Amino acid sequence: MKKLFLVVSILIFSLGLVACGSKEKEEAKSKTELFMGTVVNIKIFDGDEYVLDKAFNRVKEIEDLVSINKVGTELDKLNENAGIQSVKLSDDSFYIIKKGIEYSKLSNGGYDISIGPLVKLWSIGLPEAKVPSEDEIKEKLTKINYKDVEINEETKEIFLKKKGMILDLGSIAKGYTADEIVKILKEEGVKKAVVDLGGNVYVLGEKEKDKPWKIGVQNPFSDRGDVVGAIYVKDKSIVTTGIYERFLEKGDKKYHHILNPKTGYPYESEIAGVTIVSDKSIDGDALSTLVFTKGINEGMKFINNLEGVDAIFVDVNKNIYLTDGIEDKFELINKDFKEK
């Protein structure tokens, strides 16, 4: 599921403003590569260039473990052994899956990392995308249940109980990767950076002394780069998801990519887009999908009860809803939208 090629648009302000100062622009070191199905950009404003190479080596390590689109990864091996035997995993893969299960439990299955059979069936965003038959959907639903994922903490083995089960970590793996990049940057003494993994953004430090970064929030009804507003943050992860990212059009109906693991169809929600602001990107990644499944009222309550996490919701009627901790950090820019 997810933030495929979502953008550098969320960085329209952060990167744009950085470029305003010629001294900063000269000092900045940046590297961009294609990983995990998206464009990954790391920009540092102090530290040596080798740090970028070290960070990208870490990205490749994680991709080679948990990419669902590469043959021979640990995730591929785990899915291939569904209903057959348990598979021993690396610390990275085990941790990501364990966190995914935690969020699946937290949502009572509204968010479920075992949704892989449905994701492959619909293939939204790919050339083979189609609207499946009801019979096809019913058959796949029998293979989706996070409770059928057995985790052995001692041996770091995982067993998928049913044949045909498929874990899809697309809604959480990029967040973990962003956190690992930030960890490396901090270990190497970098104090100011912008990390972007196709919509999973982390801003390290401040833009300038006593000045936070200004990050644009994507307009869910428009092209990438068009924003509804901006937030002012430092040392935070910003993750956005919405109905505009990937969708399938059939006749006059549009099917977005956020699938309901209980019905087999895309979620019907008044939410057009949601942005999660958190300390850890792995949390923001999972929560951006999880709260989408709850709707605005329940989603707002849910986020307000979490420590250190905030959200910006945009509904289909162009209303903007802010959780308690972000109200004084948000600036409305597009007057076609209205704060509620």
Taking phi first (over 0 means left), then psi (-120 to 50 degrees means alpha), and beta for anything else, what does residue 74 get? Answer: alpha
Known binding site for Mg(2+): residues?
171, 285, 289
Q: Which residue from 324, 234, 244 is spatially nearest to 279, judged by alpha carbons?
A: 234
- C-alpha neighbours within 13 Å on the C-beta side of residue 266: 26
CB of 74 closer than 8 Å to CB of 65 = yes
H/E segment holding residue 54:
helix 50-66
Cα dihedral sign, 82-86-87-92? positive
Residues 6+ apart with CB under 8 A from 26: none
Interatomic CA distance for residues 142 and 302, integer angstroms = 28
List, in sequence order, every residue forming a beta bridge with 178; answer none if it has no partner. Answer: none
List, in sequence order, every residue forming a beta bridge with 211; answer none if it has no partner. Answer: 208
Known binding site: residues?
171, 285, 289
